[in-house]
Amino acid sequence: MFLWIILALLTAAVAAVLIMPFSRRGMAAPASHAGEVEVYRDQLKELERDRAQGLIDAQQAEYARAEIGRRLLAAASEDGAASSEAPKQRSHALVAAIVTVIPPIVGLCLYLALGNPNLPDQPLEARLANPGNNIALLVAKAERHLAQNPNDGAGWDLLAPIYFRTMRLGDAEMAYRNAIRLLGASSERLAGLGETLIATNDGIVTEDARSVFEEAVKLDPKNPRSRFYVGLGFEQAGRMVEARAVFEAIAKESPPEAPWMQLVNQHIAKNGGTVATNPDAATGGAPALANPTQEDMAAAGAMAQDDREAMIRGMVDSLAARLKEDPDNLEGWVRLVRSYSVLGEKEKAEEALKSGLKQFPSSGELVALANEIGLAVEGSAPKGVTQ
């Protein structure tokens, strides 16, 4: 209970030790100059007595008087300078005293008003019992629970996407596999595991990841997310015919306004297919999203450099505006992040990546793109950068 009193006394003692040199230095200088002036005045009096008694001639007396007078004037000027410095030194001492004394006094008063010296330390157990909105504590609480109950599949299922969003990819893979082992395979769990494997391998759909997505497609044949990654795996393996068949099947079974259609059409064209337009276009429907036509490319190539850059920036701004109104478009976020990166606007690319991951927290494609162009994902460092 008396610890704070002891600390206050120690603080006061240290403050006094710090203040003392200022006060001593302020008083010492004027005294030494005053004594020197008196000595020179006595020498002038002795010189007058010696001259009156004939012990020194007039010329020598004048020379001696001039030298003593010069020294007297010098000492007097120094004494005056020291006197003028005295208020400054006192001011400095006052400032030093305020700076040294006031903060401890204020701190002590605040502690007496707000502090509670009898409050015990809050151990980790108590903080975990009331984590509030602290995500780190919530994760730690879940991890402690799973350490004691490793067969709680629901706990692993809850932690897996959190691990993935925070780029703890090894832990995410373990959590997904445990959830699948304990709760059984589902399309969502398998897709999450597959995207984790893709992110671990910098966007490459490995054979292991593709087999996981194929199993997810068996459980939910209509899931375009898993089917897309199966096609992407074929494409990266050089199996263009199989990849095109997968992408064309997705395009055929998807509505034209589906947000993933532009990305699917791009991969169809990339694998040698022909991008079809919406059959309802003739009756007023909108065409499916596709790559720019040859006429569009020719028109862009004929533009001046400034006009072409203005057109590109206008397209990017238009895409950003559409995503603001309709954020449920994974391919749009991928295009926007990449476009800002190409334009050299890293801050906008990071903001777009954050917004895209907020809308699609389990998107392996966004994470892979972030690793590719060197952007950090939710506080983690991009690959190849140490923190």
Query: Is 275 exposed, middle or buried (CB count within 10 Å of its CB: 0-12, 13-18, 19+)?
Result: buried
What confidence score (pLDDT) does residue 53 get? 79
Residue 144 lies in a domain: no
Q: Does some domain include residue 95?
A: yes
Cα–Cα distance between 324 and 103 in angstroms, integer? 50
What pLDDT does 79 receive? 59
Number of domains, the chain = 2
- CA dist 380 and 383 (Å) reads 9
Among 91, 114, 137, the domain boundary falls at 114
pLDDT score at 249? 92
Find the angle CA(380)-CA(353)-CA(221) to the nearest 5 degrees: 100
State pLDDT tens for residues 6-58. Answer: 776 777 777 777 667 665 555 444 545 567 767 777 777 887 887 787 777 77
CA dihedral 379, 380, 384, 387 (to 10 degrees): 70
For 107-145, give one letter per residue: b (16+ CB within 10 A) or e.
ebeeeeeeeeeeeeeeeeeeebeeeeeeeebbbebbeee
3-state secondary structure 112-164: HHHCCCCCCCCCHHHHHHCCCCCHHHHHHHHHHHHHHCCCCHHHHHHHHHHHH
Is residue 110 one of the residues assigned to a domain? yes
Q: What is the CA radius of gyration of the chain?
A: 41
What is d(CA 191, CA 211) in angstroms, rounded to the nearest whole number? 11
| Exposure letters 331-355 (e unless 16+ CB within 10 A, then b) | bbbbbbbbbbbeeeeeebbbebbbb
CA pair distance 56, 53, nearest whole angstrom: 8
Tell me, what's the pLDDT at 184? 93
Is residue 379 assigned to a domain?
yes
Residues 348, 353, 356: CA angle, nearest 5 degrees: 125
Q: Answer yes or no: is 98 within a domain.
A: yes
Q: Residue 87: its pLDDT value, please?
A: 61
CATH number, domain of 347, equals 1.25.40.10
In the numeric block, the tokens 């590719």 are attached to 372
Tokens 């059409």 locate to: 265
23 is a domain residue: yes
- Of the residues 75, 93, 114, which one is the last residue of a structural domain? 114
| Full-model pTM | 0.45
Low-confidence ranges of the chain (pLDDT < 50): 27-29, 31, 278-302, 379-387
Looking at residue 109, its pLDDT comes to 79
Maximal CA-CA distance, the chain: 136
The DSSP annotation for 263-291 comes to: HHHHHHHHTT--PPPPGGGGGTPPPPP-P
* CA dihedral (97, 100, 106, 111) positive or negative: negative
Give, as one character, the DSSP assignment of residue 380.
P
Structural contact between residues 343 and 174, judged by C-beta atoms closer than 8 angstroms: no
Rounded distance between C-alpha atoms, residue 338 and residue 335, angstroms: 5
Q: For residues 192 and 160, is the Cβ–Cβ distance under 8 A?
A: yes
Tell whether 336 is covered by a domain.
yes
CB neighbourhood size of 302 (10 A): 9
| Cα–Cα distances in angstroms (integers) from residue 207 to residues 182, 319, 372, in the given order | 24, 34, 20
List of residues 6+ apart from 267 with CB closer than 8 A: 231, 232, 235, 243, 247
Residue 299 lies in a domain: yes
Write down which residue in 85, 114, 143 finishes a domain. Answer: 114
H helical segments located in the chain = 3-52, 58-114, 124-129, 135-148, 153-165, 169-183, 187-200, 207-219, 224-236, 240-253, 261-270, 294-302, 305-325, 330-342, 346-359, 364-373
Phi, psi of 298 (to 5 degrees): -65, -40
Sign of CA dihedral 337, 342, 345, 346: positive
* Residues 387, 62: Cα–Cα separation, whole Å: 81
Residue 44: which domain range? 3-114
